[in-house]
Amino acid sequence: MSSIVSEASEMADELVKIRRDLHQIPEFGLDLPKTQQYVLSKIEHLGEITLGKRLSSIVLLIDSGKPGPTVILRSDMDALAVNEETNLEYSSTNGFMHACGHDLHMASAIGAAKLLSNQKDQWSGKVSIWFQPGEEGHGGADIMIEEGALEIGGNAVASYGLHVFSSMPLGIFAGRAGALMASASGVVVTVKGQGGHGSMPWLAKDPIIAAVAMISSLQGFITQKLSPLKPVIINVGWVKAGDESTTNVIPEAASFGATIRTFSDESLDQVKALLPQYLESIAATHDVQVSHRFNPASSVVNNNPENFELSKRAVVEEFGEERFLEMEEPITGGEDFSSILKKVPGNFIFLGACPAGSDYETAPTNHSTQAVFDDSVVADGAAWLATMALTHLGD
């Protein structure tokens, strides 16, 4: 075992406690005051702190005092608006849940900060550790970039981050060069018709019938307008129309929202260019009006091949070959670490956290109210993050 892995494992109990403390105070979106306060209490003394203005972000800059480049390590901080149903003794009770494991990411990043700070005399340059709110579709990474987080420390040469999964084998690091995760965005479509009496539909312009026609032709849109060699997912997540207390009214409007996943920014541009016309042609058939709004997108998570190789080598050398899984295909989930990767080359890696004794193939997945993460991986996550910084910062 290398020194950094053994030093991290000595911290394991402390890091698990940090993770469980954070698990009990989950917060949603961009404003995470309790989480920010807690993280600060663990890292304040380790370097220079910069807090976000429009969000509760923290950047910790650890300066070795010797000249050299800056490496960015990033953890997200936000939870989801779901009610925890794990029955764990440290379950959250406030209606939010760290169901995506960002509490483990924070604990690993705090661990990496401690490891790097303890060894400050053995490396040159700076490490900029980001704690980022609003990863779950709130554009947190972009806001941190707008507020100047990339400039802290200057001369950033590489960026790294990790993500745990409750349904991936425990302790396995997984990744690939190039596209690792999809671009994620969404569209909200509103159909305006003309309401009326449910007994006389021919006198109204029914927006429900038009919205249903649009929803059921979305897969036809993909087949007819987009190349099958560039996969696109469009999946409707909600539909709204009428009022459940009445059945004899044709409403004025109907709306629905869908998530859109692609594996290149060009594919997303194509969807944005072609989908509105397609919906309009269906609206015309039904004599209704349609409007749409695309939500802000996170780009494809694109791992730089060189940084991927360095990451893979770090896992093999520090933990052993059997701990690394090279993925053949990207996954359809999205991540706004992509915004950082667009500015600074780097690598995002997955870390399996399926509880010991559970079957990863049937374990509840991230975002489930029953997702359970084995936090024994937190120390390894810390060791990997610290190793990636040291890879660039020499000695």
| Residues of this chain that bind Zn ion (CB under 5 A) | 100
CB of 98 to Zn ion, least distance (A): 9
Residues 6+ apart with CB under 8 A from 181: 300, 301, 330, 331, 332, 333, 334, 335, 338, 348
In the bound state with Zn ion, the residue whose beta carbon lies nearer, of 100 and 382, is 100
- 7, 27, 76, 206: the active-site residue: 76
In the bound state with Zn ion, the residue whose beta carbon lies nearer, of 64 and 298, is 298
Indicate the residue type of 41.
S
In the bound state with Zn ion, the residue whose beta carbon lies nearer, of 153 and 161, is 161
Give me the residue label for tokens 């999205």: 334
- 27, 136, 147, 375: the active-site residue: 136
The β-bridge partners of 156 are 70
In the bound state with Zn ion, the residue whose beta carbon lies nearer, of 5 and 100, is 100
Residue nearest to Zn ion (CB): 100
374 is catalytic: no
The distance from CA 174 to its chain's CA centroid, rounded to whole angstroms, is 16
CA proximity to 60, closest of 141, 134, 128:
128
33 close to 109: Cβ distance less than 8 angstroms: no
CB of 295 to Zn ion, least distance (A): 17
266 is catalytic: no
Can you tell me the distance from the alpha carbon of 166 to that of 289, in angstroms, rounded to the nearest whole number? Answer: 44
In the bound state with Zn ion, the residue whose beta carbon lies nearer, of 149 and 301, is 301
CB of 335 to Zn ion, least distance (A): 7
CB of 181 to Zn ion, least distance (A): 10
CB of 43 to Zn ion, least distance (A): 21
Q: In Å, what is the CA distance from 51 to each residue of 40, 166, 337? A: 10, 30, 19
- Return the HEC string of 168-214: CCCCCEEECCEEEECEEEEEEEEEECECEECCCHHHCECHHHHHHHH
Can you tell me the distance from the alpha carbon of 144 to that of 22, in angstroms, rounded to the nearest whole number? Answer: 22
Q: Which residues are known to be catalytic?
A: 76, 136
